[in-house]
Amino acid sequence: MSKLKLKGKEIRAIGYPEGPVISIAMNVMEKNYKHEAKEDVMNILKQILAAPVEFENDAVLGLIARQLLPKPAREGLEIALNSKGIGFAIFGIGHIEQGAINQMEQAAKLPVARAAALMPDAHAGYGLPIGGVLATENAVIPYGVGVDIGCRMCLSVFDIDPAELLQRESYFSRELSAATLFGGGRQFEINAEHEITDRPEFDAIPLLKGLQGKAAMQLGSSGSGNHFVEFGTVEVTEKEEVLGIAPGTYLGLLSHSGSRALGAGIADHYTRIAKEKRRLPAEAANLAWLTLDEAEGIEYWMAMNLAGDYASACHEVIHAKIARQLGRQPLRRVENHHNFAWKENWEGRETIVHRKGATPAGKDVLGIIPGSMTAPGFIVKGRGEATALHSAAHGAGRKMSRTAALHSITHELLRDTLQRHGVKLIGGGLDEAPQAYKDIEDVMSSQGQLVDVVGRFIPKIVRMDGTQPKRRHVGER
């Protein structure tokens, strides 16, 4: 028997009001009545609508019913932080600015905090620091995930001699430019076809419905900031069963980008709601959370997962375009989110693990940790280190703000650095110059207990946005 699938318009058609109850009803019924006939499920929904008070205390249907009952007045009291925060491990403390440590200490004082860790590429952000990992109980923090929901790395490894990158540099440069779009707000004139844009969440949640059109037009684009698509050399020196590639030198295609306007819209909307529902002290205001047993929290969780899948689809479109032009299918593809939240067990209890600029590094889990436009990236295998909440750094991490980089790095210095490393840059600004980043070798040496290196990626042709940053929220490498 096929699984139950509901649409928001079907639930609206039987009289359900516009709002979170639509998505809640879809989620509850598809999860708990997945093998029931749709007609029977719709009859249950009609009964709940007619007399929600009768279902208020039902273990399953009560979540729907309570959305239909009058809401009690909110007291609006401020939630106090704990006087002492939970302890957390810091990896590579010598490379981390005090501002990031201070932010992590604030997060550790949240009443919902259960475990935390700080990665060696950490630097200050909004809410959680970039490189911050936080496990909470029944709570998801929109700014603990970040604005660029599902920002991820994706590497395709091709059985092509990387010497061709130099021999046919113009060809490979042209393919990078043709495969995607860079720049804030950029979108295609013709939509890429992908099932992600037809997902039922777009119909179930009004916010997503308003973002659906732009999401379709931006599918396969890359955005601005430190997002990139680049060709380079992949070096695998030892036989590695998890990676599954024989030792050798290959051509690699590496991309870094997230969920574009879709993710930003979701983050902004649910952060406002979280701040309204949970008033925290000013210094911790961006850590406001939603619980997963309230309508807004369930909606955010659904929207966040959609944005993560959308980010993955963007990379899929880019890599498929280039693979077609190369006339080859990749030997292996490795990818991972690094701005996301996952349900994971911690000391026998389910928690929500936020990794804001951190790579999942569970036992034998593969991931990509990039450097800068001239520094190597690393294919890694997680060691499942519990004190790091099964996490690792997500890149070199900034040592210089974008403003500082623009004022202190010259075009001549950037040009000389690129020439010295044999890298061709298409686009890219001074705010993304290698000098703005920490030394990736230092970062990697600080997390030997978190990951094993199974391969390296050496950038050769790098495509980035060339415009100066305008928004305060951009992806973090």
**Domain of 324?**
152-184+210-464
Q: Can you say how many angstroms the Cα of residue 429 is from the centroid of all Cα atoms in its chain?
A: 23
Last residue of a domain, one of 68, 83, 116: 68
Domain harbouring 403, CATH code: 3.90.1860.10
Q: Quick check: is 413 in a domain?
A: yes
Asked if residue 247 is part of any domain, the answer here is yes
Instruction: Examine the domain organization and report whether 44 and 163 are in the same domain.
Output: no
- Dist. CA 450–CA 391, nearest whole Å: 7
282 and 381 belong to one structural domain: yes
CB 136 within 8 A of CB 352: yes
- Percentage of the chain exceeding pLDDT 90: 82
Based on the domain organization, do 306 and 434 belong to the same domain?
yes
Residue 365 within any structural domain of the chain: yes
Q: Tell me, yes or no, whether 338 and 452 share the same domain.
A: yes
| Rg over CA atoms, the chain | 23
Look at residues 41, 68, 95 and tell me which one is the last residue of a structural domain. Answer: 68
Both structure tokens of 283? 């210094």
Residue 442, domain member (yes or no): yes
Pair of tokens at residue 337: 């989110």
Question: Around 125, how many Cα atoms within 13 Å sit in the side-chain half-sphere?
Answer: 32
- Say yes or no to pLDDT of 299 above 60: yes
Return all residues near 238 (Cβ < 8 A) that are at least 6 apart.
247, 454
In whole angstroms, what is the distance from residue 450 CA to residue 231 CA? 27
Query: Which one of 68, 98, 114 terminates a domain?
Result: 68
Average pLDDT, the chain: 93
Q: Which two tokens stand for residue 184?
A: 């804030």
Residue 112 lies in a domain: no
pLDDT greater than 90 at residue 329:
yes
Single-letter amino acid code for the residue at 312: S
pLDDT value, residue 155 = 98
Asked whether residue 222 falls in the same domain as residue 337, the answer is: yes
Give yes or no for residue 68 having a pLDDT over 60. yes
**Residue 132 in tokens:** 């911050």
pLDDT value at position 148? 96
Q: Has residue 138 been placed in a domain?
A: no
What pLDDT sits at residue 1? 60
Predicted model pTM: 0.86
Give the SS3 label for residue 397.
Answer: coil
Q: Residue 89: inside a domain, yes or no? A: no
For residue 211 the two structure tokens come to: 């973002």
Residue 472 predicted with pLDDT over 50: no
Q: What is the pLDDT of residues 108-118, one digit of tens each?
A: 999 999 999 99
DSSP 463: E
Angle of helix 206-218 versus helix 295-326 axis, rounded to 10: 10
- Three-state secondary structure call for residue 392: strand
pLDDT of residue 475: 45
Q: What was the pLDDT predicted at 473?
A: 43
Q: Are residues 163 and 308 in the same domain?
A: yes
Helix (H) or strand (E) holding 403: helix 402-408
Q: Residue 477 above 50 pLDDT?
A: no
Same domain, 21 and 161: no
Number of domains comprising the chain: 2
Structural domain includes residue 132? no
Q: Which whole-number Å values give the CA distances from 330 to 189, 320, 400, 452, in the listed order? A: 28, 10, 36, 23
Q: Are 122 and 100 in contact, with CB atoms under 8 Å apart?
A: yes
Residues 6+ apart with CB under 8 A from 87: 108
Quote the CA–CA distance of 325 and 43 in Å, as a whole number.
Answer: 52
Amino acid at 430: L
| Confidence category of residue 351, pLDDT binned at 50, 70, 90 | very high
| Same domain? 166 vs 18 | no
